[in-house]
Structure formats: C-alpha cells, structure tokens
C-alpha cells in the first residue's frame, strides 16, 4: 500500500535503521530493505503470529538485516530497547486489517464468509468478537458500534443482534445487518462494514494501542528520523492528525505558568500538510487501498 510514497516519505537511505510496526506479510519491509541496502536494517513487529511466519519466509534478507517480532506495536519502545534497535531513522505504521487476515477463514474479519466470530490480531488476547456480539448488553453494544464504527443505525443493529443470539459466524452477523440496512443501488460498501470495524477495534483495543505507540515512537526515533502512518478510517486518521498537530506546536505560555496546559515542547515537524492518498491506478489494482491516508512527520 502506497509503497513508493512510503519509501519517499520515510526518506529511506542506505545504512538506515527502520521499524515496520505493522509487518503484515512483509511487503513494506522488503522494499525498505532494498532501498536501504547496503547496511540497512528493519525490525518488524506484528501481533499476529501467522503474519510473522509469512513475513519471515517472504522477506529474503539475513537475520542481521531483518528481525521479526511477534508483539503489539504499543510496546515499540521496550521492543526496540530489548533488541538494541535504537535510535531509528524511520518508523512505519500501516494500520487496519491485512490481506492475510481478511483472507484467513478462521479469523472472522471478513463479512463475506461463514467464519468463526474471532477478529483477534493475536490468539493471546482473551476478548473475541463472539464474546462482544453474544454477551454485551444492547446499550453497550449500540454505543460501541456508534463510536467505533460511526454507524448511525447502531441502536437498530444492536437490537437485532440481541434478538437473534446466539450468532455463530461472521456471515450470519453480516446477513442480519444487511436485512435491516438494505444496500442502496450502486452502493459499493457493504452495510455491515462499519459494525465489523467497530467490533474489531474493540476486540483489539486498537485506538488506545495507536495512541500509546505514537507517543512511544518519539522515544525511539532519532533526530531527523521520520514517522509515517497509513490510516483507513476517520477515527485512526483523527488520532494521527491530532498527535502530529500537538507535537508540532510550541508551548507559548510563560515559564512555569500555573495556567499552562501544553506540558510539552515541540518535538516534530509535519511533512504532509494534507494526507497522501493512493493514485487511481493503485485503487484500480487494489480496491482495499481506496480509503488509505498517509501522514508523515519528522523528529526535530
């Protein structure tokens, strides 16, 4: 996703040290290693153990150049310290669900198949989609779908879910939603998409993890290093945009003022005043990229 734009945005150079915080199948890592050769190194992080296995097979570089770690990117600082991988020249976050997860029949991320309601990025997590769908009360479920999915029909969807419990598969859930929110003519987006997004975010605590990881990144990246974030929905993009805005602002309050709420110094400069989006050609080749937004900032 946005490969060329990521390479340029991170200003990848030979001998650089980079963290791919959302390793996936290793596509970005492979390109970063190629552009940073000779001497480049990449530390890849992914909560999904299956992604780690796939990436290790796909990324054709020695262990001295490429290291894949099965962990959550919210622990980016402790991981970098553990493997003495700092300071780094660039960090990439490619948020959202990977093709590997969407295509896996046992994970429940897709609303097009009768897969188990799971949606966990890591099997070490306790909470699953099934627990949320089948155990949360109607009000709690409606609020979750509204806030994490930005779904205006959240109360209607929650009521339908509760009335039809137990729900055993992702397809069963999607079909229920489509029955009460019929797909409009020429509508490309499945009516169940926002609800699935909301459940997935809740299962993996994605927004809190993102906020933690962005803050932790500032302790890992060196001066002049860059942070690149690809988001796929407004909740993620808003967090990134606000984080960049806050960290690129200087405190203008008098020294030690009791009224100061800034509590920070300017740490980054924003490289992308507006997010970079995929070209029409990339969208035509990969429809999943149509909602992608890339924002880049540089450590000062």
Query: Which string of DSSP letters, residue by residue, matches 203-239?
Result: HHTHHHHHHHHHHHHTTTEEEEEEEEEEE-SHHHHHH
For residue 291, count other CB atoms closer than 10 A to its CB: 16
Q: How many structural domains is the chain composed of?
A: 2
Q: Per the structure block, which two tokens stand in for 223?
A: 């001066």
**How many residues in total does the chain contain?**
300
Q: Smallest Cα–Cα separation from 26: which of 72, 62, 70, 58? A: 58
* CA pair distance 93, 226, nearest whole angstrom: 11
Note the pLDDT of residue 102. Answer: 65
* CA pair distance 287, 131, nearest whole angstrom: 31
Q: Residues 75, 115: one domain?
A: no
∠ CA 61-65-69, rounded to 5°? 95
Please tell me whether the peptide bond between 166 and the residue prior to it is cis, using omega within 30 degrees of 0. yes
Give 214-254 pLDDT, tens digit per residue: 999 999 999 999 999 999 999 999 999 999 999 998 666 66
Note the pLDDT of residue 44. Answer: 98
Pairing type for strands 293-299 and 268-270 reads antiparallel
Note the pLDDT of residue 183. Answer: 76
Do 108 and 129 contact (CB within 8 A), yes or no? yes
With respect to residue 77, please indicate whether it lies within any of the assigned structural domains: yes
Q: pLDDT-derived band of residue 100, with 50, 70 and 90 as boundaries?
A: low
For residue 29, count other CB atoms closer than 10 A to its CB: 25
With respect to residue 99, please indicate whether it lies within any of the assigned structural domains: no
Q: Which of 204, 233, 262 is the last residue of a domain?
A: 204
pTM score, whole prediction:
0.91
Give 38-94 pLDDT, tens digit per residue: 999 999 999 999 999 999 999 988 889 999 999 999 999 999 999 999 999 999 999
Q: Residues 90, 165: one domain?
A: no
Q: pLDDT-derived band of residue 111, with 50, 70 and 90 as boundaries?
A: confident
Q: What CATH number is attached to the domain comprising 143?
A: 1.10.150.170
Q: Residues 220, 199: one domain?
A: no
- What percentage of the chain reaches a pLDDT higher than 90? 79
Q: pLDDT-derived band of residue 289, with 50, 70 and 90 as boundaries?
A: confident
Q: Which domain holds residue 11?
A: 3-94+207-299
For residue 86, count other CB atoms closer than 10 A to its CB: 17
Note the pLDDT of residue 184. Answer: 76
- What percentage of the chain reaches a pLDDT higher than 70? 92
Give 127-147 pLDDT, tens digit per residue: 999 999 999 999 999 999 999
Note the pLDDT of residue 66. Answer: 97
Q: Which of 171, 204, 237 is the last residue of a domain?
A: 204
With respect to residue 148, please indicate whether it lies within any of the assigned structural domains: yes
Q: Residues 178, 142: one domain?
A: yes
Label residues 221-260 b or e (16+ Cβ within 10 Å = b).
beeebbbbbbbbbebbbebbbebbeebeeeeeeeeeeeee
Note the pLDDT of residue 1. Answer: 82
Q: Residues 245, 293: one domain?
A: yes
Note the pLDDT of residue 109. Answer: 84
What is residue 214's DSSP assignment?
H
Do 71 and 23 contact (CB within 8 A), yes or no? no
CA 281 and chain centroid, separation: 23
* CA pair distance 192, 183, nearest whole angstrom: 10
Q: Indicate whether 265 pLDDT > 90.
A: no
Note the pLDDT of residue 96. Answer: 77
Q: What is the mean pLDDT of the chain?
A: 92
With respect to residue 71, please indicate whether it lies within any of the assigned structural domains: yes
Note the pLDDT of residue 264. Answer: 65
With respect to residue 70, please indicate whether it lies within any of the assigned structural domains: yes
Q: Which of 185, 204, 223 is the last residue of a domain?
A: 204
* CA pair distance 222, 15, nearest whole angstrom: 14
Q: Indicate whether 294 pLDDT > 80.
A: yes
Give 14-46 pLDDT, tens digit per residue: 999 999 999 999 999 999 999 999 999 999 999
CA 28 and chain centroid, separation: 14
Note the pLDDT of residue 255. Answer: 64
Q: Residues 199, 221: one domain?
A: no
With respect to residue 121, please indicate whether it lies within any of the assigned structural domains: yes
């Amino acid at each position: 996703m946005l490969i060329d734009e990521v390479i340029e945005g991170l200003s990848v150079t030979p001998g650089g040290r980079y963290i791919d915080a959302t390793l996936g199948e290793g596509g970005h890592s492979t390109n970063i290693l190629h552009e940073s050769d000779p001497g480049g190194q990449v530390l890849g992080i992914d909560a999904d153990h299956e992604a780690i296995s796939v990436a290790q097979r796909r990324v054709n570089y020695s262990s001295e150049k490429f290291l894949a770690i099965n962990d959550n990117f919210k622990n980016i600082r402790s991981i970098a310290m553990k493997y003495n991988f700092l300071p780094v020249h660039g960090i990439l976050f490619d948020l959202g669900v990977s093709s590997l997860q969407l295509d896996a029949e046992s994970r429940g991320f897709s609303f097009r198949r009768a897969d188990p309601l799971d949606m966990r990025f890591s099997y070490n997590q306790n909470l699953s989609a099934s627990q949320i769908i089948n155990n949360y009360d109607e009000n709690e479920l409606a609020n979750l779908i509204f806030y994490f999915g930005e779904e205006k029909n959240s109360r209607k969807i929650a009521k339908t879910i509760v009335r039809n419990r137990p729900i055993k598969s992702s397809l069963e859930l999607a079909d229920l939603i489509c029955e009460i929110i019929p797909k409009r003519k020429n509508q490309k987006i499945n009516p169940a998409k926002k609800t699935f997004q909301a459940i997935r975010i809740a299962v993996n605590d994605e927004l809190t993890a993102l906020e933690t990881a962005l803050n932790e990144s500032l302790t890992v990246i060196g001066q002049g290093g860059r942070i690149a974030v690809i988001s796929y929905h407004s909740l993620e993009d808003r967090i990134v945009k606000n984080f960049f805005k806050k960290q690129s602002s200087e405190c203008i309050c008098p020294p030690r003022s009791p009224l100061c709420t800034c509590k920070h110094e300017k740490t980054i400069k924003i490289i992308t005043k507006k997010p970079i989006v995929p070209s029409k050609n990339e969208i035509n080749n990969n429809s999943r990229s149509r909602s992608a937004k890339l924002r880049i900032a540089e450590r000062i």
